[in-house]
Chain A
Amino acid sequence: MDIDMPTDDSKISTRGHALGRLVRRPEAGSLLGMLIVFTFFAILGGPIFMAAPGFSSWLNTAAEIGIIALPVGLLMIAGELDISVGSVIPASSLTVAIISGHFDQPEIIGILAGLGVGLLVGFLNGYLVTRTTIPSLIVTIGTMFGIMGLTLGLTVLIVGSTGVFIVPDPVTKALLGTFVGGMFQVTMFWWAAFIVAVFYLLHISPWGNWIYALGGDRESARNAGIPTARLTIGLFMLSGFAAAFVGVAQVLTYQSAQVASGQAFIFNSIMCVVIGGVLLTGGSGSVIGIVIGTVTFAIVNQGIFFSGLDPNIGSIIIGALLLVAVMSNDAFRQMALAFAARKK
């Protein structure tokens, strides 16, 4: 059904008003949510939240989660989940720190090895998901614990402690771990690059329609000649790579890698994707939606500290936001479908 959506869209677009078209875009609900959240915290947070420190505060947070949320979103559109990102982050951080910090090898080797760890875990995830009938949720929970244990075991074996330190050279630090103007983490430019790349992949290249088809109906997708196994493995490798990239950026920013970091990214990335209007069952969603979801999530997370609200209730607001976002996305989807049906 989702596969013939584009033809429906084009039918409507020749008839509907511009505003009506905008409202019926799947991202409309997420965009509205983001604006409401931003206005809410802008009023409570005052001038500091509206100035550069406020913007950089949630942009820094959004950039790291956003880089991971994009490929996780692609996977969810394709009907899969990736939990293992949470352990890929420390695994790649520590790979960099151990190779370039502990053993003093050139940083480029450490960084390539760190990114390689992500690709490898992604390949393993994709391979297991396509070769077995185990749901990706379970597969990636399994690899998450596996990688977590390997990271801990190898780090303690090699270094003798669970924290490893590195003093990056100025060029690497400037590219991956610096704060522009003392407050804007350089990661956000990388996030922008990821957005452009994933946008091209999903909305312009032919791969995009294959991803939607995969989430719509895997069986028909394969019958239609789509290389489903290769595509799935590729998507998992992309999310492994993105998580590893964040790990690399973190170790160069904070100059230390800890075995225990990264767990928060698992649910945070899924939340960003869902707030952005991606269907948990697959087949529907967009890059713009995922970006909006990430920004919304980051604004709420950081806005609480600017707002003067009791931080104890912070988690309640985040939880409530998620539920409201999903409900409003559903409402907008219903509206759009009802409208399309009426038009016919």
Chain B
Amino acid sequence: MTQRFSVRHRWAITAAVLACFLTSAHAQSSADTLYQRATAATCANCHGTDGRTTEGSAIPALAGMPKDYMVLQMKAFKEGTRPATVMHQLSKGLTDAQVNSIATYYASLKR
């Protein structure tokens, strides 16, 4: 009896710990998604909300842009191998991790 209670008790603790872990993992992933969207939104001033520009825009849309392509272009802007008016200056303000996160976000969106 004591033994059985103890097992049940242990299960309850395990479940509670697991639930707690899952909740905090969920919270962390919600937080990470929020930060990723907010960081990507710094591009939206020029490239449109969620990377969708206004019709006929000379500034390219980012929504649906393949991730590897965007990462390479940002690298080219940074290194000066792709000429630019402002992007060579802005790209130098972003870390590789920020570029990776931004590129992942826009690649996940529909055009």
> Are the chains A and B members of one assembly?
no
